[in-house]
Amino acid sequence: MSIKRDKAQVLWREYFPDFDYYKPKTVNEALELLNKLKNDHAIVLAGATCLSRNFRARKFEVKHVIDLKGIPELRGIKYAEGEGLRIGPVTTFHEILKSEAIRKKYTALWEAAKQYGDFELKFRATIGGNIAKSSPQNDSSPPLLVHKATLTLASVEGVREVPINEFFTGVTENVLAPNEIITSINVPEPPENSRSGYIKFRRSAEDRAVVGVAALVSNPGDRSKRIIRLAYASIAKTPVYVKEAEEIFRKEGDINSLIDEAINAAYKYVDLPIGHGKRGQDLRASKEYRMHLVRVGTKAILKKLIEGVEVF
């Protein structure tokens, strides 16, 4: 066999790499800074729950860290009846759980926040960080997908609004430009008579999603007004919105057949990426079991939202 030349394996570290730390006080200050440093290994920091680990793993080179936690305008939850919800990206999951509006109107997001991470993590981890990390296991994304959220992205060049369904492009990859940050998460007023929910399959009381399923249901019994939306975590390279489901549920026929059809549509997305495993398979589950959970989870969440039956 051939001879290989390798850097020694450092199996873990206590210390972060050396970097310059900035804590801007306004969005403009942050954007200027990021624009200046964007080509020099700059990274934006929020709760640091994930970045602190990646820093120690030396996952990437980092020279500049821009901490957004000092910017008041990026924090907080605003809900106005009829107008919808705006969440600052540096809002922690702890704060999301305290919001009555989210619990009542955007239940899937509240349930995802409840099941995301652990109690101690929720005081630090932020929803913007969770989205920007763009892990396929993001618990917050499937609820935002079924609620058709958009993200406001800002840079020195301007502001744009991107539907969250178009935000994720790959494992920990998204459409954010190197000089761009998320400045707001915008969720429209939910459809009339709607309910949403999130089921997370995990291996213990504290685990990332093996599969996560979010659904939003409105007027299930009335085909003319019926809206059913489905989204998933941890089944593919990105959080997945099954857009085909919207159409399927508008069709005629027995609701259970339609659900099966929607599940088949979801199956087509099951494809976990290189770096985390083979197609559909990673260390958490085989493709077969993952598809099984997509099936069980979809039926269970709809059973809950339509009939009020708690399956798990």
Partner 1 sequence: MKDVEITLTVNGEKKKVRVSPKESLLHVLRDKLHYISVKANCYRGECGICTVLMNGFPVKSCQVLAVETDDADIVTVEGLSKNGEPSLIQKAFIEKFGFQCGFCTPAFILAGHYIVENMPDATDEEIKEVLNGIVCRCTGYKQIIDAIKLALQWKKEGKS
Partner 2 sequence: MTYKYVGKSVPRIDKDKVLGGAEFAFDFEIPGMLWAKLVGSPYPHARIVSIDYSEALRVPGVVRVFTGDDFPFKVGLYAADRDVLARGKTLYYGQPVAGIVAETLQAAEEAAEKIVIEYEPLPYSLSVEESLSPDAPIIHEEMSKYKHAVFIYPKPGTNIAHHTKVRKGNAEKVLKDADVVVEKTYRLPLLTHYYLEPWTGVARVRSEGTVEVWSSHQSPFAVRELLSKSLNIPMHKLVVHHLYTGGGFGGKAGLLLEHIPILFSMKLGGRPVKLRLTARENFFFMAQRAGYVLKMKTGATKDGRIIAHWGEYYLDAGAYADYTVNMARAIGLTATGPYEIPNVHVDSYAVYTNKVPTTAFRGFTMQELHTAFESQIDELAHELGVDPVEFRAKNLFVPGKSLTAIGERLKEDAGDPLTPVLEVNKILSNVGIGPRKDKPWVIRSKGIAAFWKGPFQPSSAASSAIVKVNEDGSVDILVGTGEMGQGTITALTQIVAEELGIPPKKIRVSPHRQTDMVPYTWQTVGSRGLFSESMSLLMACEDLKEQIKEAASIAFTVNKDMIEVRDGKACVVGEPWHCIPIEKLAIGYMNEKGVTVGGPLIGRGYYVPPRNVLTDPETGQVMEEGHLAPFYTFGAGGVEVEINLLTGEIKVITAATVLDTPEVNPGLAEGQVIGGAVMGINIALREEIKYDVRREFKGIYPDGMLLNPCLTGYIVARAGDIPKKFEWKFLGVKQKDAPYGAKGIAELTMIPWPAAIANAIYNAIGVRITDLPLSPERVIAEIKKQKPELLEKAMEYLRINLKGGDNEH
In the complex, which residues of this chain contact partner 1 (CB under 8 A)? 12-21, 23, 45, 47-50, 52-53, 56, 65, 67, 69, 94, 117-121, 123-124, 205-206
Count of all residues that appear for the chain in the document:
312
Single out the residue of 81, 158, 204, 308 in contact with partner 2 (rule: CB under 8 A). Answer: 204
Should residue 13 be labelled a site residue for partner 2 when binding is judged by CB under 8 A? yes
For position 247 contacting partner 2 by CB under 8 A, the verdict is: no
The sign one gets for the Cα dihedral 162, 163, 169, 173 is positive
Say how far apart CA 65 and CA 43 lie, in whole Å. Answer: 5
Residue 72 engages partner 2 in binding (rule: CB under 8 A): no
- For tokens 């934006």, the residue is 44
Residue 244 identity (one-letter amino acid):
E
DSSP letter at 70 equals G
User: Minimal distance in Å, beta carbon 114 to partner 1?
Assistant: 9
Choosing from 39, 81, 252, 308, the residue that interacts with partner 2 (CB under 8 A) is 252
Distance, in Å, from the CA atom of 120 to the CA atom of 85, rounded to the nearest integer, reads 25
Residue of 191, 223, 244, 246 interacting with partner 2 (CB under 8 A): 223
Residue 13: exposure state from Cβ atoms within 10 A (0-12, 13-18, ≥19): exposed
Question: Under the criterion CB under 8 A, does residue 7 sit at the interface with partner 2?
Answer: yes
Please list the residues that pair with 184 across neighbouring strands: 152
Name the token pair of 184.
């707001």
Rounded CA gap, 125 and 239, in Å?
18
| Nearer to partner 2 (CB atom), residue 75 or residue 237 | 237
Which of 37/231 has CB closer to partner 1?
37
Question: Residue from 154, 173, 220, 294 that binds partner 2 (CB under 8 A)?
Answer: 220
Q: Which of partner 2, partner 1, none lies near 48, with the C-beta cut-off 5 to 8 A by kind?
A: partner 1
Whether 88 contacts 181, CB under 8 Å: no
List interacting residues with partner 2 (CB under 8 A): 1-15, 58, 201, 203-208, 220-223, 252-256, 259, 274-278, 281, 283, 285-286, 288-289, 292-293, 295-296, 299-300, 302-303, 306-307, 311-312
